[in-house]
Structure 1
Amino acid sequence: MQELLVQLAGWALLAVLWAVFVWQYRKDPRRLGLAALLFPLALCSIAAVVDLLSTLVPGFGFLIAIVMVLTPLIVVVFGGALIYNGVLMWRREGARISNLLSLAAGVLVFILPVLAVLLVGINTWWTYSLAFILFMASVFTASLFAMMLLYAWVHAKFPAKTSGVAAVILGARTINGKVTPLLRGRLDKAIELYSSQSEPQLLMVPTGGQGHDEKEPEGVSMARYLRDQGIPESQILIEDRAKDTVENLEFSDALVRERQPEGHLWLVTSDYHALRAGLASRQMGLEARSYGGKTAAYYRPSAFLRECVAIARDQLKLIILLALPFAVGLAGLIFLATRAGF
Structure 2
Amino acid sequence: MVAFVPSFVCFFLFCVGVVRDRRRVGNAVLLGLAVVFAAIALFLHLASEKAQLGHDLGVALLTLAALGVVTLAWFLIANGITMVRKEGRSPANLLSLGAGVALVALLALLVTALVLHTHTLLVVAATAVALAGYVAFMFLCFLFYGALYGRLRIRRRADYVVVLGSGLIGGTTVPPLLAGRLDRARKEHARLSRRGRRPVLLTSGGQGPDEKLPESHAMADYLVTQGFPADLIEREDRSTTTDENLTFSKALMEKANPDYRCVIVTNNYHVFRAAVTARRTGVRGHVIGAPTASYFWPSAMIREFVALLVAYRRTNAAIFLLVLLSGLFIWWLGWPSTGAVALAGQ
Provide the TM-score with structure 1 as the length reference.
0.85
Cα gap change, 1:200 to 1:329, in 2 (>3 Å): farther
Q: For residues 231-280 of structure 1, what are the alpha-carbon distances to aligned partners after superposition, in whole Å with 9 as ceiling and x for unaligned?
A: 32222101122111122112212222232221222221111112121222
Partner Cα distance (1:122, 1:330) in 2 = 19
State how far apart, in whole Å, the 2-side matches of 1:278 and 1:127 are.
42
Residues 1-342 of structure 1: pairs in structure 2 closer than 5 A: 7=1, 9-10=2-3, 14-46=7-39, 66=60, 68-119=62-113, 121-158=115-152, 161-176=155-170, 177-197=172-192, 198-320=195-317, 322-323=319-320, 326-327=323-324, 329-331=326-328, 333-338=330-335, 340=337
Contact 1:165 1:201 in 2 (8 A): yes
**Contact kept in structure 2, 1:272 and 1:292, CA below 8 Å:** yes
Q: Which moved more, 1:209-218 or 1:325-334?
A: 325-334
Q: What letter matches 1:33 in structure 2?
A: G
Cα distance per residue 1:270-320 (max 9 Å; x no partner): 111121212222222222222221111111111111111111111123324
Q: Decide whether the 8 Å contact of 1:28 with 1:160 is kept in 2.
A: no
Report the CA distance shift for 1:132/1:52 in structure 2 as closer, same or farther (over 3 A).
Answer: closer
Equivalent-residue separation in structure 1 for 2:57 and 2:125 (angstroms): 32
Q: Is this contact kept in 1: 2:163–2:265, CA < 8 A? A: yes
Moved more, 324-333 or 25-34: 324-333
Question: Which region of structure 1 is more displaced relative to structure 2, 181-190 or 322-331?
Answer: 322-331
| Amino acid across the alignment from 2:99 | A
After alignment, is 117-126 or 280-289 more displaced? 117-126
Question: Paired residues, what number?
Answer: 332
4+ aligned runs moved over 6 Å, structure 1: 49-55, 59-64
Matched with 2:344 is none
Q: 1:327 to 1:157 in 2, by over 3 A?
A: farther
What is the distance in 1 between the residues matched to 2:68 and 2:187?
A: 38
Q: Distance in 1 between matches of 2:272 and 2:175?
A: 22
Tell me if the contact between 1:237 and 1:255 (Cα under 8 Å) persists in the aligned partners. no
Gaps (5+ residues) in structure 2? 342-346
| 317-326 vs 131-140, which moves further | 317-326
State the alpha-carbon separation in 1 of the partners of residues 44 and 226 from structure 2: 53
Distance (Å, rounded) in 2 between the aligned partners of 1:318 and 1:230: 47
Distance 1:231 1:204 in 2: 10
CA distance in 2, matches of 1:73, 1:331: 29
Residue 238 of structure 1 aligns with an amino acid whose one-letter code is R
- Measure the CA separation in 2 of the matches of 1:282 and 1:64: 41
Distance 1:68 1:118 in 2: 18
CA contact (8 A) 1:161 1:289 kept: no
Inter-CA distance 332–279: structure 2 relative to 1 (3 Å threshold): same
Q: Distance in 2 between matches of 1:211 and 1:12?
A: 52
Whole-Å Cα distance in 2 between the matches of residues 180 and 127 of structure 1?
49
Counterpart secondary structure, 1:175? coil
Could you state the TM-score of these two structures normalised by the residue count of structure 2?
Answer: 0.84
Segment of structure 1 superposing worse, 60-69 or 185-194: 60-69
Distance 1:149 1:243 in 2: 26
Amino acid of the structure 1 residue aligned with 2:213: E
Do the aligned partners of 1:36 and 1:147 also contact (CA within 8 Å) in 2?
yes
1:81/1:106 contact within 8 Å kept:
yes
Alpha-carbon contact 1:26-1:160 (below 8 Å) kept: no
After superposition, the Cα gap between the structure-2 partners of 1:297 and 1:49, relative to the gap in structure 1 and judged at 3 Å, is farther
| Structure 1 CA distance for aligned equivalents of residues 105 and 317 of structure 2 | 26
Structure 1: 5+ residue stretches without partners = 1-6
Report % sequence identity. Answer: 31
